[in-house]
Amino acid sequence: MAHTSIRREQSHDIDQELVARAIENKQAFAAIVQRYEAPLLRYILRLGCKDISAAEDLLQEVFIKTFVHLNDYDTSLQFSSWIYRIAHNEIITYFRKEKSRPSVLVTPDTTFIFENIVDDAGLTELEGQRYTSAEIQAAVDRLETKYRDVIVLKFFEEKSYEEISDILQIPQGTVATLVNRAKKKIRFFLEKSKQ
C-alpha cells in the first residue's frame, strides 16, 4: 500500500512538471500526450468504444480539450484524475450521441482483471462454481453505467477511491458504496447465470 502511495506521489510530481512546462511552452504539451496516450486509449476501449477509429477520435478530443483548458487545471488535484475526468465526459457524450450502451471490452491480457473482480466480490469458486471471463464480462456489462464506471476505474485502471472520486466528481463514500453495490450485482448476475 505504501509502495502504491509513493508511486502515485512520484507520478503526481512528474505530471505537475509536465503541466508547468506545457503552460510555458505549448510545444511541451507533446510530453503529456506521450505519457497519457496509451492509458487513455485503453480506458476508452475498456469503457466500451469498440470501434478503434472512433476511440482514436475520442482520444484526440480528450487531448484537444485538455490543451484548451490546461490553464484551468487546479494543481492541488491529481492531473491524472483531471485528464481521466475529461476522457470520461467525452466517452459519456459519445455514447449519448450514438444512443448505444457500452460494453466492457475484454482482451486476453485482461482476463486476470475479471478474476480479481470475482475474488474481490467473494465469488472464488463459490459453491464449487468456476466462472469464465465471458460470464464475468456479461455480468459486468449488465451493470448500470454508474456501477460499470467505478468497476472499470477500480479494477481495470487501478485507481484509488480518491482518484475515482475526482474523476467522477462524486464523494469518496459514494464511490465505496457504488463499488460494493456493483460487486453485489455482479455476484447476483453470476449466481443467476448458473441456475
Structural domains of the chain ordered from first start: 2-98 (1.10.1740.10), 108-193 (1.10.10.10)
pLDDT band, very low/low/confident/very high, at 10 (cuts 50, 70, 90):
confident
Q: Reduced to 3 DSSP states, what percent helix, strand and coil does the chain have, rounded to the nearest 5? A: 80, 0, 20
- What is the model's pLDDT at position 118? 55
Q: State mean pLDDT over 112-117.
A: 55
Q: Has residue 157 got a pLDDT over 80?
A: yes
pLDDT band, very low/low/confident/very high, at 46 (cuts 50, 70, 90):
confident
Q: State mean pLDDT over 22-26.
A: 90
Burial track 40-68 (b if 16+ CB lie within 10 A, e otherwise): bbbbbbbbbbeeeeebeebbebbbeebee
Q: Where is pLDDT greater, at 99 or 40?
A: 40
The CA distance from 117 to 113, in Å, is: 6
- What is the model's pLDDT at position 103? 53
Which of 131, 115, 120, 150 lies closest to 191 in space, CA to CA? 131
Q: Which of 59-73, 82-96, 181-195 has the lowest mean pLDDT?
A: 181-195
Q: What are phi and psi of 78, to 5 degrees?
A: -70, 130
The CA distance from 52 to 26, in Å, is: 28
Could you say which DSSP state residue 49 is in?
-
The CA distance from 110 to 189, in Å, is: 20
Contact 59, 106 (CB under 8 A): no
C-alpha cell at 101: 450502451
- What is the model's pLDDT at position 122? 56
